[in-house]
Chain A
Amino acid sequence: MAEETPVKQDRTPSDDEAGRPARKQTWQRRWRERKADLREKRITQTVRLRTTISKDLQPVTGPLAKLRAKIEEHRKWTHPLIGFLLIAVAALLPYLDDWMDLPLWVSRVTSGSALARFALFALFALGLNVVVGFAGLLDLGYVAFWALGAYTAGIATGAHSFTQARISGTEEGAEPVFAMWMWGILLLALVVAVIAGVILGSPTLRLRGDYLAIVTLGFGEIIRITANNLDGITGGPRGVRNVPHPRIEAGGINVEWGTLLDVKYYWLLLTLVVLWVIAIRLLDHSRIGRAWVAIREDEVAAAAMGVPIVKMKLAAFAIGACTAGVGGVVYAEQVGFISPPTFNVVQSILILSMVVIGGMGSIPGAIVGAAIVVLLPEMFRGLEDYRFFVFGLAIVLMMIFRPQGVLPSKRRKAELLGESQGEQLYDASHAGS
C-alpha cells in the first residue's frame, strides 16, 4: 500500500490540473459532447420509429385513403372479394393475348410459360419469405429444398430407373406411368423436404444468424454436389429424363398436363400459390406468427417470455422447405428433365432478391418481387444478360434506401427502419468527430 500511494497521488485531479490542464479539459469536454450526442441520437431514433408507426394512425384524407378506410371497415367481405377478383384476373391473364392486340412486350409476359415460371418462383418466394421475412433467418441454400423436391419426383415417378435402363441399354425399362401418383408424390416431396429442413435446422438454428447463412449456403452446395456424384441414385451429371407430366383421371374428369408450354401448369401453380397465401396468412395471424414477430424483434426477451425459440424457427424453416419441395415436384414434372447444375447458388440468391425487393415479411410483396425478378427480364429481352447484375445492385440499394421493400408489411417496415432492439451493429457515424 505504502508503495502505491505516490502513484495514486500522481493521478489525482489536482495534480493533473497542475500538470496538463488543457488536455484534461478537452478530454472532459469530448466525453460530455459524446454523451450528449449519443443521447440525442437515441431520442431522434425513437421519434423516427414512433412516426413510422403512427403514420398508420393518421386521419383519413383524400379519396384514395377514404376508399381504403371503407374497405378496411367492411373487411369481412371486401377482402375475400378483392382476393377473388385478383385470382380471377391472374387466372385469365394467358387469354389476354387472344382477346386483344397487345404490344409485344406485354404478350411475352402473358404467355403461359412465362406466367408458369413466375408462379413457380412466386411459390418459392412465399416459402423463403416465411424463413427470411417472418422468422428473420437468412437461408442462402433454399435451392437445396427445390432440388430435393425435384429429385423426389424424378425418383419416385420411376423416371430415374427408366433413364438408367435406357442409358445402359441392358433392359427395356418400363416407361414411367406414375403420372396419376403425382399428387401422392407432391405429399411425399413435402414430407422429404420437411424432414431435410428439420435435420438441417435442428442443430444449426441454435447458432447465430450469420452462421446459419453460411451453413445453409454450404448445404445448398452439398445437395448439388451429392446429386452430381451419386450416379446410381440421382443419375449424376446426366440427370433424370422423362419425368412424367401430371394427370387427373377420376370419374368423368380427365385432365392431362402436356409439355413445358402448357398453360395448365400456370393454373396448377397458381392454385398452389393461392393455397399457400391462405395458409401463410393464417399462420402469420396465429400464435406461431406472433412468436416469429417476438423472435425477430428481440430474441432474448421472447425466450424470457416463454416463446420456444428453436421450435418456432424450426417451424419457419420447415414451412419454407416444404414449399420449395412442392414447387420442385411441379417443376420436375413440367420440365421433364432435371440435372444438378440447375440447382446452383444463383437460384437461391435470385429467390432471396425477390423477397428483398418485394418486401421482407410481406405476402403480396413476395409475389410482386417474383413478378419483378421473373417477368421484368422477360419484358426487356436483349438486356437479359444484365439481369443478375441489376438484381445484385437492386438488393444492395434496397437495403440502403428502402429496406422494407416495394410492398412492405407495416410491422416489418417499422422494424427495418427504426432501431432494432436485438442484434444490432453499432453505429460509428460520429466516431472521430
Chain B
Amino acid sequence: MEFFSNFVDQFWPQTRNGLTLGSIYAMIALGYTMVYGVLQLINFAHSEVFMVSTFTTLFAYRDWFNVVAPASGVGLLVLLMGGLIPAMIFSAVLAVLIERFAYRPLRKRGAPRLSFLISAIGASFFIQYLFVLMDGQHSLIFFDLPNIAGPSPQTVPTVMETSTVFTVFDTPFSNKRVIVILAAALMLFVLDRFVRQTKMGRGIRAVAQDAEAASMMGVDINRVIVVTFAVGGLMAGAAGFLYILVLGVPAFWFIGFLPGIKAFTAAVLGGIGNIRGAMVGGLLLGLVEAYSVPLFGAEWTDVTAFVVLVLVLLFRPTGIMGEEVGS
C-alpha cells in the first residue's frame, strides 16, 4: 500500500518528468521509425547519432562559446541556437555517413537482412569507441585525435538558469522543461507537415509503400533514403541537445545506448513506421518510465522500459497506432 500512496503523491511531478523525457524519446524514435519506413530496417547506429549530438553541444559550449556563467535574454537565445544548430547538423551528417558506408554497399549487393543488422551494430561500436579514443592522447595512423570526448563523462557548462515558468497541480514546470516540450512539439509538427505535404515527403511515403514501384515512377530511391537518414539525424540531434540541456547529464560515449533502445521501444509501441505513432509511443513510454519510479524504485526504470518493449512485441507487435508505413 505504501508504494501506492507514493505513487499518488508523486503523480503530477512524475507526469511532468515523463512528458519531458517522452518528448525526447519521441524525437529519437522518429529516426528509427522513418528509416524503418523506407528500408524495413532497424538502424542500430541511430543511438550514436544521438551521442554525437550531445558531444557537439558540449564542444560548442565548452570550446566555441567558452560558456562560464548562465546567460539570459538575447545572449541566451544565441547560445541555444549556437548549440542546437551544430548539434543537428553534425548528427545529420553522421546519419548520412552511416547510411553511405554501413548500409549502401550492402544494399547494392542485395545482402540478407542479417548483414544489415550486423553492419549497423559494427558501425555503432566503431563510433562509440572512436569517441572513447578522442581524449587527446590517442592517434590514428596519420593524425592525432582531438580532445573532445574520452572515456570519462564530461559535464556540459550550465547555459541557462533554471526558473519556474508556471505551476500546475502544485507541480512547478521549469523553463527548461517547457523548452523541451515546446521544441519537441514544434519539431514533430514540422516533420509531420514535411512528410505529408512536400514533394520529398511524398517520395518518402511512396518508397515506404512500395520501393520498386516508386522507383519505376521516377522516385530517386537513393536520394529519398539519404534524406530520410538526414531528417532522422536532425531529430536525434535536437533530441541530444535538449537531453543534455535539461537533464544536465554529462556527455559520455555510452550515452546513446539507453535512450536509443528506449526510443526504439517507443517507436514499436506507437507502431513502427508510423510517424504520429512514434510521438504517442514516446510520450507514453516516458510516462510509464516516470510512473515506475514511485512504484518500483528508480533503479528499476530501465528494466520497466525493456519489459514494456517485450510485452508490446508479444501482444501487439504492430503497436498502438498500427504499422502504417508510408501512409
A-side residues, CB < 8 A to B, are 30-31, 34, 45, 132, 136, 138, 140, 203-204, 207, 209-211, 213-215, 217-219, 221-222, 225-226, 228-229, 345-346, 349, 352-353, 356, 360, 385-386, 388-389, 391-396, 398-400, 403, 415-416, 419-420, 422-429, 431-432
Contacts and interface: CB of A to CB of B under 8 A. Distances in A.
A429 B42 CA distance: 20
Contact of B112 (A221, A353, A422, A432): A422
Interface string B107-135: 11111111111110111111111101100
A416 B122 CA distance: 17
A215 B309 contact: yes
B112 A416 contact: yes
Given A204-B310, A388-B125, A432 B118 contact: no
28 contacts: A209-B114, A210-B41, A214-B309, A215-B309, A215-B313, A218-B261, A218-B265, A218-B306, A225-B303, A352-B118, A352-B121, A388-B125, A389-B130, A393-B122, A395-B118, A395-B122, A395-B125, A396-B126, A398-B122, A399-B102, A399-B118, A403-B111, A415-B112, A420-B112, A422-B112, A424-B110, A426-B212, A428-B221
B107 A428 contact: yes
A396 B101 contact: yes
B311 to A, nearest CB: 10
B227 interface: no
Contacts of A136: 112, 114
Interface residues of B, number: 62
Given A214-B261, A422-B112, A426-B211, A392 B118 contact: no
Given A45-B110, A211-B268, A394-B122, A428 B211 contact: yes
A420 B107 CA distance: 12
Nearest to B299: A229
Contacts of B105: 400
B115 A34 contact: no
A422 B265 CA distance: 26
Contact of B220 (A228, A424, A425, A432): A432
B309 A210 contact: no
A398 B40 CA distance: 22
Given A211-B317, A225-B303, A392-B128, 14 more contacts: A31-B216, A213-B42, A214-B309, A218-B306, A222-B303, A353-B125, A360-B114, A392-B125, A395-B119, A395-B125, A420-B110, A424-B110, A431-B221, A432-B221
Contacts of B106: 399-400, 425
A394 B111 CA distance: 17
B147 interface: no
- Central interface residue in B113, B122, B129, B314, by most chain A CB within 10 Å: B122
B302 interface: yes
B118 A386 contact: no
Contacts of A229: 299-300, 303
Contacts of A424: 110, 112-113
Contacts of A429: 107-108
Interface of B: 39-42, 44, 101-102, 105-119, 121-130, 132-133, 138, 211-212, 215-216, 218-223, 225, 257, 261, 264-265, 268, 299-300, 302-303, 306-307, 309-310, 313-314, 317
Nearest to B317: A207
Nearest to B212: A426
Given A138-B114, A213-B117, A389 B129 contact: yes
B121 A226 contact: no
B107 A210 contact: no
Contacts of A226: 303
Nearest to B307: A222
A388 B132 contact: yes
Contacts of A416: 111-112, 115
Nearest to A422: B112
A11 B39 CA distance: 34
A314 to B, nearest CB: 15
Given A207-B317, A209-B117, A395-B118, A428 B123 contact: no
A207 B311 CA distance: 12
Nearest to B102: A396
B132 to A, nearest CB: 7
Nearest to A432: B220
Contacts of B127: 392
A205 to B, nearest CB: 11
A210 B265 CA distance: 13
A418 to B, nearest CB: 9
B317 A386 contact: no
A409 to B, nearest CB: 15
A432 B76 CA distance: 45
A360 B219 CA distance: 36
B113 A403 contact: no
B110 A225 contact: no
Nearest to A207: B313
Contacts of B115: 399, 403, 416
Given A217-B261, A388-B125, A389-B129, A396 B119 contact: yes
Contacts of B310: 203-204, 215, 218-219
Query: What 5 pairs between A and B have smallest CB-CB spacing?
Result: A395-B122, A392-B126, A392-B125, A432-B220, A431-B221
A296 B24 CA distance: 37
A222 B299 CA distance: 11
A386 B139 CA distance: 10
A86 to B, nearest CB: 28
A215 B261 CA distance: 9
A427 B110 contact: yes
Contacts of B42: 210, 213-214
A399 B222 contact: no
